Amino acid sequence: MGRTIQIQAPDSSATFSGYLAVPASGKGPGVVIGQEIFGVNANMRAVADFYAEEGYVALVPDLFWRLQPGLELGYTEAEFKTAIDLFQRLDVDLAVQDIDASFAALRALPEVQGERQGYVGFCMGGKLAWLTATRTQAACSVGYYGMGIEHLLHEAEHLKGRFVLHMAENDAYCDASARAQLTEHLASNDKVELYLYPGADHAFARAGSEHFDKSASLMAHERSIAALKREIGPNFNLSALWEDHIKHEFDTRDVPATMATMVAQPYVNHIPTMTGGVGAEELSRFYQHHFVHGNPPDMKLIPISRTIGALQIVDEFILCFTHTTEIDWLLPNVAPTGKPVEIPMIGVVKFRGDKLYHEHIYWDQASVLVQIGLLDPEGLPVAGVATARKLLDEGLPSNTLMQRWSDSAGQ
Please name the residues in contact with 184: beta carbons below 8 A apart, sequence gap of 6 or more.
Answer: none
Cα 32 to Cα 40, 62, 254, 279: the distances in Å are 12, 11, 39, 28
Among the listed residues 319, 261, 253, 314, the one whose alpha carbon sits nearest the alpha carbon of residue 288: 253
Asked about 171 being catalytic, the answer comes back as yes
Instruction: Tell me, rounded to whole angstroms, the distance of Cα 145 from its chain centroid.
Output: 18
Instruction: Tell me, rounded to whole angstroms, the distance of Cα 260 from its chain centroid.
Output: 20
Among the listed residues 171, 351, 382, the one whose alpha carbon sits nearest the alpha carbon of residue 150: 171
Count how many Cα atoms sit within 13 Å of the Cα of residue 302 in the half-sphere of its side chain. 13
Cα 216 to Cα 50, 110, 130, 300, 305: the distances in Å are 17, 35, 21, 36, 27
Are the C-beta atoms of 272 and 156 separated by less than 8 Å? no
Please name the residues in contact with 225: beta carbons below 8 A apart, sequence gap of 6 or more.
Answer: 54, 310, 311
111 CB-contact burial (10 Å; exposed 0-12 / middle 13-18 / buried 19+): middle
Task: Determine the Cα–Cα distance for residues 108 and 106; give it in Å rounded to an integer.
Answer: 5
Task: Determine the Cα–Cα distance for residues 245 and 25; give it in Å rounded to an integer.
Answer: 18
Out of 98, 166, 202, 248, pick the active-site residue: 202
Task: Determine the Cα–Cα distance for residues 92 and 288; give it in Å rounded to an integer.
Answer: 54
Are the C-beta atoms of 134 and 46 separated by less than 8 Å? no
Task: Determine the Cα–Cα distance for residues 147 and 130; give it in Å rounded to an integer.
Answer: 10
Are the C-beta atoms of 128 and 99 separated by less than 8 Å? yes
Out of 98, 100, 171, 354, pick the active-site residue: 171
SS3 82: helix
Report, as residue numbers or ranges, the catalytic residues.
Answer: 171, 202
